[in-house]
Amino acid sequence: MEKVVIVTGANSGIGLALCERLLSSDSQVRLCLACRNMERAEAARAALLTSHSSAHVDLLHLDVGSVQSVLGAAEEVKTRYSRIDFLYLNAGIMPNPTVDIRAFFKGLFSRNVINMFATAEGLLTQQDQLNSDRLQEVFATNLFGHFLLIRELEPLLCQPGHTSRLVWTSSSNARRSAFSIEDIQHRRGKEPYSSSKYASDMLSLALNTHKNKQGLFSSVICPGLVMTNLTYGILPSFFWTLIMPIMWLIRIFTNTFTLTPYAGAEALHWLFLQKPESLDPRAKYHSLTSGLGTNYTEPRIMDLDDEMTEVFFSKLLELERAVRRNLSEKTADSEHYQQYISEIQ
């Protein structure tokens, strides 16, 4: 039976590597690349069809950072497919990253080097901004746009007698200390990426609580330290040239340095092969690579609070109602709307 699989952020990096692995392992996959840049999406589709000439690979224009784009893409999906088997929520951004160079070099030659690369704790900050919907850009792209997409596609995801799966690409940088339930969009902080990834961990748990009985199951993965366009954007290119030999050396002694997109997609692909009932909703499934280069998946329990998770889920629903009301009344630039959005924290 054909499996409909939608992957956001599928034109490069881990998303594209996942698509390649899915087509290699299951000839019944009907793949949909949901991407913001359609030129790159066309190139990705061509590359996939070069190695899988008989595959079904569709394209969908989707900018998860734009409410209008999400709603339009969801309508397009509902006209194309009668159900969705897998929705991989992989797209994400880390705008304007700033590295504490002093802390970087201090950590590079310390016993904390592995944890520094794995989590970027105390090392990495970003400058966020408001998008056209008056939402924080990182929050909107990494989390809220995906949440809205799920809500729009519930008729295809929650069908009687059918099981559907959500899989979030999270991060080891997802830290509870970076998230505040009083500031869910991270307007006042300097680690919006970490905050948004921790928020996705909480949302996955909340979705399992509220949607498992309707046949919808959610999981979270961490790809490990992978060299993608997002990673390369953190430091100048000459820095990576200098430290890459060190990173490959460190890889011998740690399993979190997956480094390649193919290895980083290990947990994403592994989850595709599992029965949802056998998975732990409180676990994050980590892509890992042994010193000998063997890729494998390992679950690790997430640091989540049930009460805060439910409060967060309620706030997302409230924000969704506000955004939809704004669209219907066309009041995005009004002072009242901006104040209301900022109060949902």
Q: At what angle do helices 306-329 and 335-343 cross, to 10 degrees?
A: 170
Amino acid at 342: S
Catalytic residue (choose from 193, 198, 262, 337): 193
Query: What's the number of CA atoms in the CB half-sphere (13 Å) around residue 268?
Result: 33
In the residue annotation, 198 being an active-site residue is answered as no
Read off φ and ψ for residue 103, nearest 5 degrees: -65, -35
219 in Cβ contact with 277 (< 8 Å): no
- Side by side, which strands form the sheet with 86-89? 56-61, 29-35, 3-8, 86-89, 164-169, 216-222, 283-289, 295-301
82 in Cβ contact with 71 (< 8 Å): no
Could you give the C-alpha distances from 20 to 14, 47, 57, 185, 339, in angstroms and in order?
A: 10, 9, 11, 33, 45
31 in Cβ contact with 56 (< 8 Å): yes
Query: What's the number of CA atoms in the CB half-sphere (13 Å) around residue 249?
Result: 7
Q: 117, 112, 303: which is closest to 202 by C-alpha?
A: 303
64 in Cβ contact with 70 (< 8 Å): yes
What are the catalytic residues? 193
